[in-house]
Structure 1
């Protein structure tokens, strides 16, 4: 396996992973790459579990690693705070349609939207404070 300069290698082979780490190459294990995708709300829990099952079937991960990942999922759920809301029937149907199109569950879709709006709100507030001279560009970038 070759690695382009400044690239990141992805592997599920333990021996290849160890060799790349010894060579100080940037490398990530396949199963952890998908765990990070889930933790960053890029894929749903169902998608992660399907991927882990496929990796197990082809020897791309081990039962021990899957157990480790499942423990991470449990810890993430414990750290999450549940917030509920009500939607008009028509809005709920639209949400279901979009979730189906995006191939994610409704909760994941709503969470992505909320996190996106929070980020947008923070950026707007930081830009506003910067324009008013209340904070420096470095503080706004945080």
Structure 2
């Protein structure tokens, strides 16, 4: 029975955004997309299966890198248009979720310029800083 899939508010392309969160630490690991088949496969297999928009096919997380995500919980937000997966990142220790060889895809933090005043008009002044180390060279992961 797949009535539970009908509760999801799929976008015009039949996709829904998905956030993967590490179950043990609460770290946000990545954002990806799922179609109906990917969500059904994720629920059936207990591992993350996403939909690759660039390849237009299912993407079994870790199929190339070995960085598999074991799924503990699947949650649907209050508007039924975003999914949250609580996962354990398997493969390399510490777990690498990002194709850049980092733990999380969210490794860039915006930093306001030193001494800058809050912007009242126009954009604020600042820059993106890398705040997480590369744990493994991506060239050695994706051969």
Larger Rg: 1
Tell me the TM-score normalised to structure 2 length. Answer: 0.25
Query: Which structure shows the bigger proportion of residues in helix conformation?
Result: 1
Q: Which has the higher contact order (CA 8 A, sep 6+)?
A: 2
